[in-house]
Structure 1
Amino acid sequence: MAGALVVRGGTVVDAAGSRRADVLVRDGRVVAVEPQIGPEDAGDAAVVDAGGAYVVPGGIDVHTHLALPVGAVTSADDFASGTLAAACGGTTCLLDFAGAGREPWAEALATWHERAHGEAVIDYGFHLTVTEMPEDADAAARRFADFLDHGVASVKLYLAYPDRLMVDDETLGRALAASRRTGVRVCVHAEDGATVERLAAGAVATGRTGPEALPSVRPPSVEAEAIRRAAALAGRERAWLYVVHLSSAAGLEAVRTARADGVDIHAETCPHYLHLEQSHLESGDPDFVCAPPLRGPADRAALWRALGDGEVEVVSTDHCPFTVADRRHGTAGTGWTDFTQIPGGLSGVETRLSLVYQGVLAGDLTLEQWVAATSGTPARLFGLDGTKGALRPGLDADLVVFDPAATRRLDASHLHSRCDHSPYAGRVVSGWPALTLSRGEVVAVGGEPADPRPGRGRFVRRPPLPEERH
Structure 2
Amino acid sequence: MTVMIRGGTVVNADRAFRADVLCEGDKIVAVGENLELPANATVIDAGGQYVMPGGIDTHTHMQLPFMGTVTADDFFTGTAAGLAGGTTTIMDFVIPNPQQSLLEAYHTWRGWAEKAAGDYTFHVAVTWWDESVHRDMGTLVQQHGVNSFKHFMAYKNAIMANDETLVKSFRRALELGAIPTVHAENGELVFQLQRELVAKGITGPQAHPLSRPPEVEAEAANRAITIAGVLGTPVYIVHVSCAEALEAITRARAHGQRVYGEALAGHLVIDDSVYRSEDLEYARAHVMSPPFRSHHHQEALWHGLQGGNLQTTATDHCTFCAEQKAAGKDDFTKIPNGCGGVEERMAVVWDAGVNTGRLTPSEFVRVTSTNAAQIFNMYPRKGLIAAGADADIVVWDPQASRTISAKTQFSKGGFNVFEGRTVRGVPTHTVAAGKVVFDKGQLRAEQGAGRHIDRPAFATVTR
Q: CA deviation at 1:428?
A: 1.1
What pairs with 1:370-389 in structure 2 (closer than 5 Å)? 370-389=364-383
Q: CA deviation at 1:220?
A: 0.5
Alignment CA distance shift 1:10-1:223 (3 Å): same
Percent same amino acid at aligned positions?
40
Amino acid at match of 2:130: P
Q: Which residue of structure 2 lines up, in the alignment, with residue 453 of structure 1?
A: 446
| SS of equivalent residue, structure 2 residue 150 | strand
| SS of equivalent residue, structure 2 residue 128 | coil
Unaligned runs of 5+ in 1: 331-335
Q: Do 1:99 and 1:129's aligned partners in 2 also have CA atoms closer than 8 Å?
A: yes
Q: Select which of 307, 310, 313 maps to 2:311.
A: 313
The Cα RMSD (Å) is 1.6
Q: Select which of 164, 181, 188 maps to 2:158.
A: 164
Q: How big is each residue's C-alpha offset from its partner over 1:159-199, in whole Å with a ceiling of 9 and x where there is no partner?
A: 11012111111110111111111111110000011111111
Q: CA deviation at 1:77?
A: 0.2
* Counterpart-to-counterpart distance in 2, 1:448 and 1:256: 42
The answer to whether the aligner puts 1:105 opposite 2:112 as a matched pair is no
Q: Which residue of structure 2 lines up, in the alignment, with residue 191 of structure 1?
A: 185
Q: Do 1:140 and 1:174's aligned partners in 2 also have CA atoms closer than 8 Å?
A: no
What pairs with 1:9-28 in structure 2 (closer than 5 Å)? 9-28=7-26
Alignment CA distance shift 1:193-1:210 (3 Å): same
The answer to whether the aligner puts 1:287 opposite 2:285 as a matched pair is yes
Q: Do 2:317 and 2:342's aligned partners in 1 also have CA atoms closer than 8 Å?
A: yes
Q: CA deviation at 1:43?
A: 5.1
The answer to whether the aligner puts 1:427 opposite 2:428 as a matched pair is no
Q: Select which of 391, 414, 439 maps to 2:433.
A: 439
Alignment CA distance shift 1:140-1:417 (3 Å): closer
Q: CA deviation at 1:386?
A: 3.9
Q: Which residue of structure 1 lines up, in the alignment, with residue 113 of structure 2?
A: 116
Q: Do 2:253 and 2:309's aligned partners in 1 also have CA atoms closer than 8 Å?
A: no
| SS of equivalent residue, structure 1 residue 416 | coil
Amino acid at match of 1:105: L
* Counterpart-to-counterpart distance in 2, 1:222 and 1:184: 27
Q: Do 1:191 and 1:225's aligned partners in 2 also have CA atoms closer than 8 Å?
A: yes
| SS of equivalent residue, structure 2 residue 117 | coil
Amino acid at match of 2:10: V
| SS of equivalent residue, structure 2 residue 398 | strand
| SS of equivalent residue, structure 1 residue 61 | strand
| SS of equivalent residue, structure 2 residue 30 | strand
Q: Select which of 337, 362, 367 maps to 2:361.
A: 367
* Counterpart-to-counterpart distance in 2, 1:243 and 1:427: 28
Q: CA deviation at 1:15?
A: 2.3
| SS of equivalent residue, structure 1 residue 413 | coil
Q: How big is each residue's C-alpha offset from its partner over 1:417-462, in whole Å with a ceiling of 9 and x where there is no partner?
A: 1110111111111111100011110111124312x21001111111
Amino acid at match of 1:29: K
Q: Which residue of structure 2 lines up, in the alignment, with residue 245 of structure 1?
A: 239
What pairs with 1:55-454 in structure 2 (closer than 5 Å)? 55-99=51-95, 101-102=97-98, 103-117=100-114, 119-134=115-130, 142-148=135-141, 149-283=143-277, 284=280, 285-330=283-328, 336-358=329-351, 359-450=353-444, 452-454=445-447
* Counterpart-to-counterpart distance in 1, 2:158 and 2:356: 41
Q: How big is each residue's C-alpha offset from its partner over 1:181-219, in whole Å with a ceiling of 9 and x where there is no partner?
A: 111111000001111111111111111111111222100
Q: How big is each residue's C-alpha offset from its partner over 1:281-335, in whole Å with a ceiling of 9 and x where there is no partner?
A: 12251111000000000000111111111111000110001101110034xxxxx
Q: CA deviation at 1:250?
A: 0.9
TM-score, with length taken from structure 1: 0.94
Q: Do 2:154 and 2:188's aligned partners in 1 also have CA atoms closer than 8 Å?
A: yes
Q: Do 1:228 and 1:258's aligned partners in 2 also have CA atoms closer than 8 Å?
A: no
What pairs with 1:6-45 in structure 2 (closer than 5 Å)? 6-39=4-37, 42=38, 44-45=40-41
Q: How big is each residue's C-alpha offset from its partner over 1:79-110, in whole Å with a ceiling of 9 and x where there is no partner?
A: 11001100000011111101253232122111
Amino acid at match of 1:463: P
Q: Do 2:73 and 2:319's aligned partners in 1 also have CA atoms closer than 8 Å?
A: yes
Q: Do 2:102 and 2:136's aligned partners in 1 also have CA atoms closer than 8 Å?
A: no
| SS of equivalent residue, structure 1 residue 437 | strand
Q: How big is each residue's C-alpha offset from its partner over 1:107-142, in whole Å with a ceiling of 9 and x where there is no partner?
A: 21111111111x11011111111112336xxx7654
* Counterpart-to-counterpart distance in 2, 1:88 and 1:372: 20
* Counterpart-to-counterpart distance in 2, 1:424 and 1:448: 21
Alignment CA distance shift 1:128-1:291 (3 Å): same
Q: How big is each residue's C-alpha offset from its partner over 1:57-98, in whole Å with a ceiling of 9 and x where there is no partner?
A: 000111100011113321110011001100000011111101
